[in-house]
Amino acid sequence: MVNRVVLNNQIHRDVRIAAMRPTRENAEVNTVSVIPREFPRLLAHYPIFFTKNTETGRFETAALMGFQPQENLFFVDGQWDAAYVPLQIQRQPFSLITRRAEDSGEKPPSLDVALDMSQTVQSHEGQRLFLEDGQPTKFLQDITSMLSALVAGAKETYAFTGRLAELSLIEPVQIDIEFVNGSETKLQGLYWIAAATLKALPAAQLAELRDREFLEWMYFQMASVAHVSALVARKNRLLSGATAARP
Amino acid sequence: MVGGGTAGWITAGVLASRYPRRGEDGISVTLIESLQQPPIGVGEGTWPTIRATLKQIGVTETDFLRECDASFKQGSQFVKWVDGSDGDAYYHPFTLPAGYEERNLAPYWLEDPRGQSFAAGMCFQTEVCSRALAPKQITTPEFTGLANYAYHLDAGKFGPFLRKHCIDKLGVRHLYDEIVRVESKDSGDISQVVTKGGEVLAADIYIDCSGFSSLLIGKHFGVPFLSTKDALFIDKAWAVQIPYPTDDAAIASATVATAQSSGWVWDIGLTTRRGVGYVFSSSYMSDEGALEELKSYLGARGDLSRDLSFRKIDINSGYRQEFWIRNCVAVGLSAGFLEPLEASAIVMIELSAKSIANLLPSCHDGMRQAARLFNDTFRYRWERIVDFLKLHYVLSRRTDSLFWIDNRARESIPDSLREWLEYWRDHCPWHEDFPHREEVFSAASYQYILYGMGFQTYPAPWLLNDRDRNLAREKMNEAAQYAKTLAAGLPGNRDLLSKVRRYGLQKI
C-alpha cells in the first residue's frame, strides 16, 4: 500500500534516502506516462504513444515498456535496462500532492512534496532531505525541480494533445504482434499521429504547430514507433530463454 | 421550414448537412420561427437513432450533453404494468436480446428461463440500468457505447442548441416572424408564404413543423386528422419538474413508466432535474383526481414540496391522413402525436427528416412519387406505433379500474395487433413479421414487451433444435458474464455526465 506523507522539515529532519532506484512496485508497468520535454531522450529507447487517461478520457503521452499489463521489458532483474529512465519513474518515491485546505479554492492550488513511506527508502546511509536548520538540501531541491518539471510537463502535454485532437491529428492504432513462440497479442488503447491528416494540414495550422513546438514533438512520436520492433525483440529473447541483452 | 421547435431544427439540420450549399448548386434552407408560439417542450426521451442524427447534423456529443442537460437513456422500465403488485416491474432495454444477430433465441428462454426475466436473462443491459450506470466510460469515443443508448434531454434547450448550430455552421437562414398568408399555384402547390413582417418567401418545398397549429398541412391543405382515441385512451397530462435532493443524486439510466389507475407516470432524469408527469384519460379520471394521484406518486418518493408548479397538457392522439401533399411535408406534432409511452415523437421526426432528405426530388416532376412513397411509409409507421403502444395495455392484467379493463376490450384493439397476438401464440416475434426496412419498433422490442409482461408463446416442438438450444445457453451465459464485467467497469450515469461536463468526450 502506498503511504504518502507530506514532507515536514521537523518530522523528517533526520530522514535519509538511499540511492533512488526503481523498485518493482513502481517499475512493473507496461506504460509509463511521459512529458514532451523528455521526448528527445526517450527517443533513444522507447516507443511513445498517446493513451487516454482513464479518469478524464484526455490524451496523454506514454512510453511503451511491455505487452502485458505489468510487463516492463526494460526492468530486468531489479535493474533498469536503458540509459535514460523516464522522469515518472525517476521521481519515485517522491510525489507532489495538492494541499487540502485549498482544494476548493479558485486560485491554482499549492503543492507539497510527499514521500511514499511504504517503500524501503529510509536508511542510515544516503541523502538527507533537510539541513540542521530545516532548509532543504541540494538533493531535495533537485527532487522538487524534477517534480515541478513533471507538473509543468503535464500541462504542456494536455495543451499539445488537446490541440492535436481538435485538429483530428490523433488516431487509434491497433498493433498485432506474433512472438517467436507463436503466441499473439493485440495492443489496444494506443493512439498515434494521423499521418495522412498531417500531410494534408493547411499551412497556417502547420505554422501554428511549429511555433508551439508541437510539430517536433509529433515527429519524435512518429519516429519512436520504430522501437516497437526492438521491444518485440526483447520479449522474444525472454521467450526463447536467452538473457536480455545488456547495453 | 415553418416552425422552430425540435421538429423544425432537426429537419433543418439534417437537410442542410446532407446537402450543403455549394453556390448555385446546393439547396438553401430558410426557417421561420414564431415568437408567439413557444415550443411545447415535451418528448424528453429519444431512441438510439438520435446519435446518428446528431452526428449527421455535425454537433459534438460533448456540446450536446452539456448544453441540453442531457443524460444517457438505455431503455424504459415499466413498473406495475402487469398486475400492479409490489415488485411488478420489467425493462425494455435498447440493446438487442442475446444472439439476436444470428438466431431467434426467445423460444429457448421460454423453454428454460433459468429463473430470470426475459430482459435480465437475455440482455446484459438490464443489470446496467438497474444500477443506474452509464452506457460508456470517459475514454469511450463520442457517440459510441459499450451498451446501446439514447438520451433524455431538455427539449426547451435542444431546439435553441440546434438552432445555433444550424445558423452558424450549416448556413440555415432564420427569421422570427409569423406566417399570415399562404398563396397557391393553380396546381394546388404552395407558391409563396407571406409573413407579418412583410417578407414574401417562395420555396420549392415547404416543411410544416408548426406544431399543433398545423399551419400548412392542417389549416391550409385541410388534410384530415385521424384520431387514435379508440385504441389509445390517454388525452391529458400533468407535468412537473422535480429538483434533485443533492448535486450528486443518482440519475436513472432508463425512463421509468409507472402505471396508475387511469394512465401512467413518466419519470425522466436529466442532469439538472427530473421531469415527471402523469398522462391519463379524462374519460376515466378528473383533472383534480389525476393531480392527487401524481402528488401521491411524488409523495411516496419524498419529492412533494410546496413550490412545485404543475402544468396541464392536452394530448390529441392521432395523425394526419397524409403527411406529404403537393410541395408540403408535415414533420413533428403537425403530422401527429401519440402518448409518450415509448418516446416515439423525436424518432419520428428523425425518420421523417431522413426520408425527406432521401426522397427529395431534384425537379418538380418527382414530387408526386416522393409524396406517395413517404405517405405509404409513414402511415405504416404511425399504425405500427399505435399497435406497439396498445400492446402494453392489452397485455396488462390490472383490474383496478375500468381504464385498464376497457383497454383490453376487443373493439379497442387494432385488427393488425389482434392478428399478430394470435400469431405470436405459437411464434416468437421475428424479422419476417415486420417487412419494412426501418421499423420504428423491431421484433426485439416486441419480444421485450411480450415476455416482460408474461405473454406465453407455445412454439411447436419441431420448431426447436439442439443447436439453437445450445447457442441460447451460450449466449445467455455470455450476457450474464458481460453484465458482471460492465457492472464492475462502468461509472454511474451521474459520475460520467459530471466528467463529460468537466473534461468532454474524445471524438475518437
Residues of A in contact with B138 (CB under 8 A): 54-57
Residue of B nearest to A57 (CA): B139
* Average pLDDT score over residue span A31-51: 97
Residues of A in contact with B62 (CB under 8 A): none
The partner residue sitting opposite A56, judged by closest CB among B503, B507, B508, is: B503
Are residues B503 and A54, on separate chains, in Cβ contact within 8 Å?
A: no
The answer to whether B74 and B128 have CB atoms below 8 angstroms apart is yes
Residues of B in contact with A53 (CB under 8 A): 139
Residue of B nearest to A171 (CA): B508
Can you tell me the distance from the alpha carbon of A204 to that of A197, in angstroms, rounded to the nearest whole number? Answer: 14
Q: Which amino acid is at B63?
A: D
Can you tell me the distance from the alpha carbon of B300 to that of B256, in angstroms, rounded to the nearest whole number? Answer: 15
Residues of A in contact with B505 (CB under 8 A): 57
CA-based nearest residue to B454, from B104, B108, B92, B83: B83
- Given a cut of 60, whether residue A243 has pLDDT beyond it is no
Assigned C-alpha cell, B137: 466510460
The answer to whether B317 and B235 have CB atoms below 8 angstroms apart is yes
Residues contacting A24, CB < 8 A, separation 6+: A75, A78
The answer to whether B10 and B166 have CB atoms below 8 angstroms apart is no
In a 10 Å sphere around its CB, with 0-12 CB exposed, 13-18 middle and 19+ buried, how is residue B202 labelled? exposed
Can you tell me the distance from the alpha carbon of B207 to that of B30, in angstroms, rounded to the nearest whole number? Answer: 10
Can you tell me the distance from the alpha carbon of A213 to that of B401, in angstroms, rounded to the nearest whole number? Answer: 73
Can you tell me the distance from the alpha carbon of A78 to that of B346, in angstroms, rounded to the nearest whole number? Answer: 61
The partner residue sitting opposite B499, judged by closest CB among A56, A170, A171, is: A56
- Given a cut of 70, whether residue B468 has pLDDT beyond it is yes
Secondary structure of residue B16 in the 3-state scheme: helix
Are residues A56 and B502, on separate chains, in Cβ contact within 8 Å?
A: yes
* Average pLDDT score over residue span A222-241: 94
Q: Kindly state whether residue A245 falls inside one of the protein's structural domains.
A: no
Q: State the residue range of the domain holding A72.
A: 4-239
Q: What is the band of A228 on the pLDDT scale with cuts at 50, 70, 90? A: very high
The answer to whether B163 and B157 have CB atoms below 8 angstroms apart is no
Tell me the whole-structure pTM to 2 decimals: 0.91
pLDDT score at A100: 61
Residues of A with CB under 8 A from a CB of B: 52-59, 165, 168, 170-172, 189, 191
Give the HSE-up count for residue B140: Cα atoms under 13 Å, Cβ half-sphere.
17
Q: What is the band of B233 on the pLDDT scale with cuts at 50, 70, 90? A: very high
Can you tell me the distance from the alpha carbon of A126 to that of A146, in angstroms, rounded to the nearest whole number? Answer: 19
CA-based nearest residue to B76, from B145, B150, B143: B150
**Mean of the per-residue pLDDT values of chain A:** 89
pLDDT score at A247: 43
- Given a cut of 90, whether residue A164 has pLDDT beyond it is yes
Are residues A52 and B139, on separate chains, in Cβ contact within 8 Å?
A: yes
pLDDT score at B35: 86
pLDDT score at B31: 97
* Average pLDDT score over residue span A44-58: 96
CA-based nearest residue to B47, from B186, B254, B238: B254
- Given a cut of 70, whether residue B10 has pLDDT beyond it is yes
The sign of the dihedral angle between the CA atoms of B185, B190, B192, B194 is positive
Residues of B in contact with A58 (CB under 8 A): 503, 506
Enumerate the domain spans of chain B.
6-70+151-229+317-382
Can you tell me the distance from the alpha carbon of A169 to that of A208, in angstroms, rounded to the nearest whole number? Answer: 14
- Given a cut of 50, whether residue A244 has pLDDT beyond it is no
CA-based nearest residue to B350, from B4, B3, B2, B12: B12
How many angstroms away from the CA of B491 is the closest CA of chain A?
Answer: 10
Can you tell me the distance from the alpha carbon of B298 to that of B288, in angstroms, rounded to the nearest whole number? Answer: 15
Residues of A in contact with B136 (CB under 8 A): none
Q: Kindly state whether residue A204 falls inside one of the protein's structural domains.
A: yes
**Residue with more model confidence, A217 or A114:** A217
pLDDT score at B62: 97
Residues of B with CB under 8 A from a CB of A: 137-140, 499, 502-508
Q: Which tens digits make up the pLDDT trace of B347-388?
A: 999 999 999 999 999 888 899 999 999 999 999 999 999 999
CATH topology for B6-70+151-229+317-382 is: FAD/NAD(P)-binding domain (3.50.50)
Are residues A168 and B499, on separate chains, in Cβ contact within 8 Å?
A: no
CA-based nearest residue to B320, from B369, B374, B370, B391: B374
Residues of A in contact with B499 (CB under 8 A): 55-57
* Average pLDDT score over residue span B335-339: 95
**Mean of the per-residue pLDDT values of chain B:** 95
- Distances in Å between the alpha carbon of A55 and those of A4, A51, A60, A99, A146? 20, 12, 12, 20, 24
Assigned C-alpha cell, A220: 519524435
pLDDT score at B157: 94
Q: At what angle do helices B6-18 and B344-359 cross, to 10 degrees?
A: 30
pLDDT score at B505: 96
Q: Which tens digits make up the pLDDT trace of A83-132?
A: 999 999 999 888 888 776 555 555 666 778 888 877 655 667 788 889 88
pLDDT score at B362: 87
Q: Which tens digits make up the pLDDT trace of B116-170?
A: 999 999 999 999 999 999 999 999 999 999 999 999 999 999 999 999 999 999 9
**Residue with more model confidence, B254 or B27:** B254
The partner residue sitting opposite B508, judged by closest CB among A53, A58, A172, is: A172
- Given a cut of 90, whether residue B292 has pLDDT beyond it is yes
The length of chain B is: 508
Q: What is the band of A12 on the pLDDT scale with cuts at 50, 70, 90? A: confident
Q: Which amino acid is at A41?
A: R
pLDDT score at B40: 62
Can you tell me the distance from the alpha carbon of A53 to that of A58, in angstroms, rounded to the nearest whole number? Answer: 5
Are residues B506 and A55, on separate chains, in Cβ contact within 8 Å?
A: no
* Average pLDDT score over residue span B396-413: 97
- Distances in Å between the alpha carbon of B386 and those of B266, B332, B341? 18, 16, 11
Q: What is the band of B42 on the pLDDT scale with cuts at 50, 70, 90? A: low
Q: Kindly state whether residue A244 falls inside one of the protein's structural domains.
A: no
CA-based nearest residue to B136, from B414, B500, B458, B502: B500
- Given a cut of 90, whether residue B25 has pLDDT beyond it is no
Number of domains in chain A: 1
pLDDT score at A123: 65
Nearest 5°: phi and psi at B30?
-120, 135
Structure ipTM: 0.81
Residues of A in contact with B63 (CB under 8 A): none
Q: Kindly state whether residue A229 falls inside one of the protein's structural domains.
A: yes
Can you tell me the distance from the alpha carbon of B189 to that of B198, in angstroms, rounded to the nearest whole number? Answer: 21
* Average pLDDT score over residue span B196-215: 95
Percent residues over pLDDT 90 in chain B: 93
- Given a cut of 80, whether residue A58 has pLDDT beyond it is yes
Query: Among B139, B140, B144, which would you mutate to test the A interface (most chain A Cβ atoms within 10 Å of its Cβ)?
Result: B139
Q: What is the band of B241 on the pLDDT scale with cuts at 50, 70, 90? A: very high
Q: Which tens digits make up the pLDDT trace of B93-122?
A: 999 999 999 999 999 999 999 999 999 999
